[in-house]
Each structure stands twice: as C-alpha cells, then as structure tokens.
Chain A
Amino acid sequence: MNKKFAIGIAAVVMVTVVVIMGSTYYSTLMQMQEYKPRMSSAPVDLTNGSPVLGSPDAPITIIEFGDYQCEMCYHWFHTTRDDVINTYVDSGKANLVFLDLPFLGRDSHPAAQATYCADDQGKYWEYHTTLYTFQEGVDDGWASKDRLVAFAFNLEMDMDEFNDCMDTSKHASRVNANYDQAVKQGAQATPSFIIVSSDGTTKKISGAQPYSVFSRTLEAML
C-alpha cells in the first residue's frame, strides 16, 4: 500500500511539473498565434522607444523588446544582431527600434533609464552597446548605479548632466511606458521582436532566434 502511495506521489509530482511546463508553453504559443493575424489590431507606440537605428524611411521596422540583464538578449546581440544590421539596416531595407521590457531584476530599470540619459547626449546606441558588452549576472552589481555612471564616463559624456538625469529618474516614466507597451503587445519574453512592414503587416519572433529566421521573415515581408 505504501509503495503504491509513494509511486502515486512521484507520478503526481512528475505529471504536475510536466503539465505546468506544458500548459505555460502552450498558452504562450496560443497567444503568439492569436497575435498572428498579420494586421496588428494595436499599433506599436514607438514614441518612448529608442532612437531609430537606420533609415527612418525604411520599409520595415524591427521592434526589439529587451532587458539589459537578459542573457538571451546578450546572446542575440552578439550572434544575430550584427548580421541583421549589416544586411537589412545598413542597406536601408529595415530599421531597428528598441523598447525596454525591464523585468529580470532591480538593476534592469535603472539600466534602461541610463540609456535614455545617454540619449539626451546623443549616445543612446553607444550606451546600449556598452551595456550588452559588459553584461554579467542578474543584479550582481554589473549594472549598479556606480557602474552605470562609469559606463557614461567611458563614453565621454557630460557627467553632471548624466548624474542629474539619473538622480532625478528623469526617464523612469519613459521606461515604464515602454514596459506597458511591450506587455500590451503581448511580449512575454526577452528578446521579443515585432516586425512591421510599411503596409502594416506584422510578424512576431519570440526568443533569441538565429539569423536564418530573421532573414526568412524579412525577405517574405519585403
């Protein structure tokens, strides 16, 4: 009787874990598929996002939702992004906008704010690159206030202006707006991408997917 009971408990635990994992993944898939109608019912508001990387007139906009502490964002940045930029952004076929989805840890939000403080001095993308170059573990101090200031110093920014920007949390509401926009668009992972063509067609890519997926998607939309 005890053996059967123990087997039953083990089986229940196993099944519960598999069901939770499966159902979470399934619901995410369903949400992605619900989103799949090519016309976005909720246009993406990019007013609080990053400056546009590439030509503002490009026929396709790649919107990336990311967290500066996200390891997968780091990997996407260092493996796939360069190819996308070289092939599609530099050629004027697409442009890229980054929207913050800071959820991983307490340093995620200040790191996102710091990028907009850098943007005030025209160095958004340099700062963005710096963060994804020096990323370490979540909340292990690599994106502490001191480090964020040090990154700005290394980029030869006006430190009084940067410190004032950070101390007053000047761009906190902008980052919050991006977070809300990301959630509104159904982003539930970082990095997530929404690719929008000039006729309003949209496609979603979730996760640090390889260049081949981006290439196939973009070519189909061009």
Chain B
Amino acid sequence: MNNLKLVFSSYSYVILGIVVFVSMFIPISLLSEFIFVEPYLVLHVTEYSAFGFTLVIVVSIISAIVIPMNVYRIKRLQKGTSKIGGSMIGTIIGASAGICGCGPIGFSIISIFGTVAGTTTAFLTEYEIPIRLGSIGLLCIVYYTTSRSISTECKVG
C-alpha cells in the first residue's frame, strides 16, 4: 500500500494510470461489444456477459496500477525492464481475450487469414473467462514482484 502511495503521489503517474485504464477499458469494451457507439451510445451488459465485463474492468484497473509502477521502478530506480514486459504480456493477453470472431475485427482477420484465424478467434471467444483470469493472475504476480522490488530498493516500511 505504501508503494502505491509512493508511486501515485506524483500526478504524472496518476495521469499515466488513467491513460492506461481508459486505453484498455474503452477499446476492449468496444471490441467485446459491451459498448456500442452507433446508432446510439449505449452500454450493454447482460446477465450472461456480466462476469466477463467485470473481468475487463479488473484487467484495466490492475494494468493501470502495474504499468505506472513499473515505469516508476525503471525511471526512478533504474531497474531492469523484465517486469514491465510481464505486465505488457498480461495486459495484451487480457485485451485479446473475448475479441469476438463475430465482430468487425474477427471478420477482417478471418477474411484475410481464413480457417486458422477462425479457430484462433473461436478459442479466444470460447475461453474468454479463463484467459482473462490468467491475465489477471499474471498481472497480480507482476504487481507483487514490482511492489517487493520497490520496497526493497526504497526501504519502504
């Protein structure tokens, strides 16, 4: 908790966190068809998609915490970039899960790459929940190791 205070005591990291959250949450929600902008702006979360939507929010929040923490760690403590790589992977996996093959991106990918792309998008759609949970797990591990690293280096607490 002290590490969070330490990192987010600077407005630049708060802004970075907000930017990461928005740039995660909005595109994923659009691609997963939780938000529609045409013909009207509407949020559409049904009973069957509520858990998936919750996971999108969780992935976006953890990414918005972990990425600024890693940037802080790299900039201030001059540490290696391995953990930010982990957070990027977790973020990208979390973002790609649930991108429906039925949607415009799925249609474009399948039209260009054919059956293999169809199988991939079907996998991402079918295993949306476990993939997102895995990505959250990965992000949590990165948070823990990053937090420990900051604590050690800054001797917080």
Contact = CB atoms under 8 A, between A and B. Distances in A.
Which bucket holds chain B's interface residue count? 35 or more
Contacts of B49: 75
Nearest to A5: B81
A103 B125 CA distance: 15
A contact patch SS: helix
Nearest to B92: A17
Contacts of B80: 3, 6
B81 to A, nearest CB: 4
B contact patch SS: helix
A33 to B, nearest CB: 8
B115 A24 contact: no
Contact of A206 (B42, B92, B104, B125): B104
B101 to A, nearest CB: 6
Given A213-B40, A213-B42, A17 B84 contact: no
A213 B100 contact: no
Nearest to A216: B40
Nearest to B96: A17
B48 A188 contact: no
Contact of A71 (B44, B46, B100, B108): B100
A44 interface: no
A17 B81 contact: no
A117 B115 CA distance: 25
Contacts of A13: 88, 92
B31 interface: yes
Contact of B110 (A21, A104, A191): A104
Interface in B96-151: 100-108, 110-111, 115, 118-119, 122, 125-126
A188 B78 CA distance: 47
A206 B103 CA distance: 9
B1 interface: no
25 contacts: A6-B85, A7-B81, A10-B81, A18-B23, A21-B27, A21-B31, A24-B108, A71-B101, A71-B125, A72-B103, A75-B46, A75-B49, A104-B122, A138-B119, A138-B126, A139-B119, A188-B108, A191-B102, A207-B103, A210-B44, A212-B42, A213-B36, A213-B39, A213-B42, A217-B39
